[in-house]
Amino acid sequence: MTSSSTAQGQAAASASPQLRQWITEQRRLGVLDATLLTAMTAAGWNESVARAALQVAPVRAAAALPEPDLADEPGTIDVGDRQVRVLMSMTAPRVVLFGQILSDAECEALIAAARPRLSRSLTVETASGGEEINADRTSDGMFFQRGELPLVQQLEERIARLLNWPIENGEGLQVLRYGRGAEYKPHHDYFDPTEPGTASIVRRGGQRVGTLIIYLNEPMQGGATIFPEVPLQVVPQRGHAVFFSYDRPDVTTRTLHGGAPVILGEKWIATKWLRQGRFD
């Protein structure tokens, strides 16, 4: 490799995912690369980094997915106010297991804030676009508004940095409690495009493209998150999180997953679903 191609490679590596995503979005809006280069250098970007970013940024936003930066095989990822551990990753399906996304005290605080607001979980009913009680999902749950509490805001900022995905594309954080025997039978998190209600659901924010399930406590027995087609079983550990993404709303993503019944104790999780676009 020549020294100039090494320098180019270094410049490309310093073009942050956020910068690349911004370029892709501007291109989608019809802004020419020459205009983008002027804007980036005016904003203080080094010109070679800006040129490299233009080269590596995807041309079409549709291909972009939430994704942690694992190219250099890091053991931890800096999310601003915390180092999140990378514990396991696989590519097909894309599943990554993280540690220490929340401290024990933060897990307790989220549970305490959510507990008084729990009610029986509903599932989105794609046949109509409404919500319904579903025998496949026997947990209790609640949603926080985005940024509703400082802790929620902090967690959302961590997730955005961890997965290189805008906060605005996230649904409100959902907290779920599974008592003994409660479960969430295997399902996909994307909305089935063949169902009549899906068109109205995806009008706000587009399809779901990724899920982060954060474990807030540890059931004594049972309650694993399962991916039957992989097969993979993630045992809940407080402060850990499992992430998976799906680039199309189709079974071939092999992202079928469920919450196995809790046998002993209870299970608390927080789920962040990520959409293609702004979920306002």
Q: Is residue 106 part of the contact set for Zn ion (CB under 5 A)?
A: no
Distance, CA of 56 to CA of 173 (rounded, Å):
32
DSSP state of 260: P
Closest CB to ligand PD2 among 24 and 236?
A: 236
Q: Is residue 259 part of the contact set for ligand PD2 (CB under 6 A)?
A: yes
Closest by CA to 2, choosing from 221, 201, 10, is 10
Residues 170-199 that bind Zn ion (CB under 5 A): 189
DSSP state of 261: P
Residue nearest to Zn ion (CB): 189
Q: Is residue 206 part of the contact set for ligand PD2 (CB under 6 A)?
A: no
What residues are paired with 234 via a beta bridge?
225
Closest CB to Zn ion among 156 and 189?
A: 189
Q: How far is the CB of 121 from ligand PD2 (least distance, A)?
A: 9
- Of 36, 40, 213, 214, which lies in the binding site for ligand PD2, with binding defined by CB under 6 A? 213
Q: What are phi and psi of 14, to 5 degrees?
A: -85, -5
Q: Is residue 222 part of the contact set for ligand PD2 (CB under 6 A)?
A: no
160 close to 167: Cβ distance less than 8 angstroms: yes
Q: Is residue 258 part of the contact set for ligand PD2 (CB under 6 A)?
A: yes
Question: Kindly report the CA angle at 265 between 263 and 271, in degrees rounded to 5?
Answer: 90
Question: Which residues form the interface with ligand PD2 (CB under 6 A)?
Answer: 184, 189, 211, 213, 225, 257-259, 269, 271
